[in-house]
Every structure is written in C-alpha cells, then in structure tokens.
Amino acid sequence: DDAPASVAVGATDDPESALIAHIYAAALRFYGSPAHVALSEDPLTELDSGDARVVPGFTGRLLHRFVPDSTARSATQVYREMVSALPEGIGAGDYTTSAEDKPALAVTEKTAEAWGGRDLTAAVRHCDDLEVGKVASGAIPP
C-alpha cells in the first residue's frame, strides 16, 4: 500500500480547539494529505511522542504556556517571542493576521450604510444605539 499515512492534528476536546483542528485537517486533505483529528488532554505533548504531527493554536496562548511572564503585546511581538520560545524540534507556521483571537463586531449592511462607515470608529459614534447580542449557546464576552 503506497498511500501516505494520515496526519494526526492534535486538539483538546473543547469545542474551540476541536473546530480549529478540524479546519486544519480539512485543509490538509484539500491539498492531498490524508488527515484526522486526534483528541487528547494536552495535544502539545503528543508532538513529542509523534501521536500528533500538527497542533494548531493561538500565538498568545502558546506564548503564555512557554513564557508565562512575557511582556509582548503586539501581534508581531507575540509571534516572534512564541517562535523563540518553542521547544527544540517544534516549528510554527508563517505569521498571518488572517485569523485572530480578538473580539469582533458584526453589523448588517444596512447598519453600516446608515452609520456611514465600516470600521469601529463608526460604531463608537453610535454606542448609545448599539444592542449587543450573542449566539444563544455562546458565552458573553468579558
């Protein structure tokens, strides 16, 4: 059998970690690499044993794990320090801001047009008119 082995994408069983791992596994499959999600209590330790080959994560959370007292705050600083703090033999993907773990505000097209803008300054000008909502099963942000 010449089929390549399936790439194990590590994740914890919490919904956020599992969702990100499934997205990574789907991307790997899209590009021709068989992949599956492997759940564990600490997927980063699975990299050492080879039980996981990829473990997606957020740069800030990974930096905090390896350097809890880091003072890095900007996205670029956090990424650079995280890469420097990774254990030997562990690498990180290229830096990108296309996916961020930050609060976001979504408004309808009609609202954006009424406000005359699509950035947060438009929302600031209309704070008194905002009605904050959430997904029914979601947690309320702090």
* pLDDT value at residue 23: 92
120 class by beta-carbon count within 10 Å (0-12 exposed, 13-18 middle, 19+ buried): exposed
SS3 1: coil
Read off the pLDDT band of 75 (50, 70, 90).
confident
Using CA atoms, how far apart are residues 138 and 104, in angstroms rounded to an integer? 14
Residue range 27-47, pLDDT digits in tens? 999 999 999 999 999 999 999
Total-model pTM: 0.67
Ordered by start, the domain boundaries in the chain are: 7-85, 102-132
Using CA atoms, how far apart are residues 89 and 54, in angstroms rounded to an integer? 12
* pLDDT value at residue 37: 97
Stretch 110-130: mean pLDDT = 83
Q: Which CATH architecture has domain 7-85?
A: 3-Layer(aba) Sandwich (3.40)
* pLDDT value at residue 107: 78
Strand pairing report for 35-39 and 7-11 = parallel
Q: Are 123 and 115 in contact (CB under 8 A)?
A: yes
